[in-house]
Structures are given as structure tokens and as C-alpha cells.
Amino acid sequence: METKRKKVLITGCSSGFGLLTAVSAAKAGFDVVATMRNLDKDVDLRLALDAANVNAEIAELDVTVPQSIKTVVRRYGPFDILVNNAGILMGGSFLNITDSEMRSVFETDYFGAVNLTREVVPEMIERHFGLIINIASLAGRVGHLFNAAYGAAKHGLIGFSRSIRLELKPFNIKVVSVEPGYFKTEVIGNNAYLTENFHDRNSPMFELNRGFLRMMMKEVIPKAGNPQVVADKIVKIMQTSRPRNHYIIGKDAWFAVIAQQLGLLRLVEKAVYAKLIRNTQREIKRKQKM
């Protein structure tokens, strides 16, 4: 695929993979429409574009608002490439997540991508060309404890990608699923929400929720990778004429997926479980000392 003049729509560009991909794609010569739900958060993207000496259209797009999707597609379309990147995460046991929190994860991580794809694809069909890149997650391949809504939505997104790939094949539209492990972005930083009832002392999950949080803070997040790796891979996918169906990114993701393929996932789960219990016990001890 030629990189020049291909028009790319990217969601969730206020930070993380979206921001980095917008800048890297602009540097690679793509015509980038970088969107975010709140334009007050455009400073970091503008600074990064300036620093790289490149341009991109910056537009408002909340993937959970149908009218917002329609407005952007009407104003800036047609697009050659769509990167469904916007996502949120809600940490805490499935017993402590409210119905509306659960739905908001699905509205963003699953329906947001689905609805935008449905809006963009008809023009791709007309032009007999297109590439949809869905940013899923390792959490869409294996279970994601204390993030059940996120894991379920990402499993759904991978299932959606696999299904529509076949439907869109006759129209020369390719559908790719990107499945990173942990990378240092705001989804595990400032944007990492905890469920409303995370700290409910009456919940049987009270201690385990805290143990999970400690495990994330002490053992998982410090080892998270450099998100530029993911942005570079996404731009590579945009540039290739024959992209693969799935891109697993990061050592942690590869490790889990290979274990799964070898039928050894239960050993990985056993190790994660041991980590959870260890961190829960340490957290209980810490609280007792206070």
C-alpha cells in the first residue's frame, strides 16, 4: 500500500497509542484525522505534532455518541484507514462493578468501534478499498481478572474483527486486530478507573480487589512496555499491502498466547493466581500495621 495521501481516521488521540500513532502516521506521510472526545485535551497532541514538524486535522469525536460519529465521517470522510483505538478500563471485581459502569466499558470499547466501522465502511465498499485496525488487547485473548467487563468487551471486539473480515473480503477491505500486552499509557495511569464499589467492605471481594491493585502497582505496571512500539507497529500495518489478521505485541502477550496455543494457559493462570494471593496477603498485613 502506498503511504502517501491515504486518509486515516484515528480515535482516542488525546494520549497513549492514539496520540503516538497520529504523530507517527503523519510523519510517515499519511493524511491524519486525529480525534478525541474532549478537545480541551489537545495540547499534548499539538505539541507532539509541532515537535515532529508534521500536521494532522484534530477533530472532536466521542465514539459513544452516534451523532458525533456521523458528523466526523460526513465532514472528513471518505477514509482509507480507520484505527478504532479509543478505550476505557474499569478495575475491580465483576461483583463490584455497577451495571452502568459495565455498559460504559462496552459502549466505548465494543460498540464505539462497531458503530464507527459501520459508518466508515460503506464508502470503503464504494471505493473498493479499506483497512480497519481494531485495537483490542491480550485481554481479548485470555481472561483478565478484576477487569471482566474490559476483557469481555475486547473478546467481543476480536470476535467482531474475525467475523467482518470475511464479510468485507469481497470488497478489498482488510480487518486487523491488534492485541498488545501491558504498555505504559494513561489507560493504566490517570485513566485507570476503579469500579464504584471497589472499596465496599461488605463485598467478599474487598481484600482481593486491593490485592489485585497492589499486584498491578508493584508487579505489572512497572514492567509495562514503551507504547511507541505499538504505534510503530500500527503504522507498519498501515503501510503493508498484505496485513496479518492478528498482531500480538509485547513479551507478556506473546508468552500468554503461546502458552494458550500449547494448551498450557492453566500454568500461566496458576502463576497469576499465586501473585494475586501473595499481594492480597501483603496488603492485609500492611493494613493491620497501620
Ligand X SMILES: NC(=O)c1ccc[n+]([C@@H]2O[C@H](COP(=O)([O-])OP(=O)(O)OC[C@H]3O[C@@H](n4cnc5c(N)ncnc54)[C@H](OP(=O)(O)O)[C@@H]3O)[C@@H](O)[C@H]2O)c1
Given the rule CB under 6 A, which residues bind ligand X? 11-12, 14-18, 36-38, 41, 61-64, 85-88, 108, 112, 135, 137, 180, 182-183, 185-188, 191
CB of 13 to ligand X, least distance (A): 6
Q: Which is nearer to ligand X, 36 or 73 (CB)?
A: 36
Sheet with 130-135: strands ordered across: 57-60, 31-36, 7-10, 81-84, 130-135, 173-180, 246-249
| 93: nearest Cα among 278, 276, 282, 283 | 276
How many C-beta atoms lie closer than 10 Å to residue 4's C-beta?
8
Cα–Cα distance between 274 and 267 in angstroms, integer? 11
In the numeric block, which cell numbers belong to residue 193? Answer: 478507573
Q: Which of 76, 110, 150, 182 is catalytic?
A: 150
In the numeric block, which cell numbers belong to residue 247? Answer: 498482531
Q: Which is nearer to ligand X, 74 or 242 (CB)?
A: 74
Q: Which is nearer to ligand X, 38 or 67 (CB)?
A: 38
Residues with Cβ within 8 Å of residue 162, at least 6 apart in sequence: 177, 245
Cα–Cα distance between 172 and 279 in angstroms, integer? 49
CB of 20 to ligand X, least distance (A): 8
Q: Which is nearer to ligand X, 178 or 205 (CB)?
A: 178
Residues with Cβ within 8 Å of residue 17, at least 6 apart in sequence: 85, 135, 180, 183, 185, 227, 230, 231, 234
273 labelled catalytic: no
CB of 128 to ligand X, least distance (A): 29
CB 194 within 8 A of CB 214: no
- The backbone torsions φ and ψ at residue 211, rounded to the nearest 5 degrees and listed phi first, read -65, -40
In the numeric block, which cell numbers belong to residue 272? Answer: 497469576
Q: Which is nearer to ligand X, 86 or 175 (CB)?
A: 86
Residues with catalytic annotation?
150
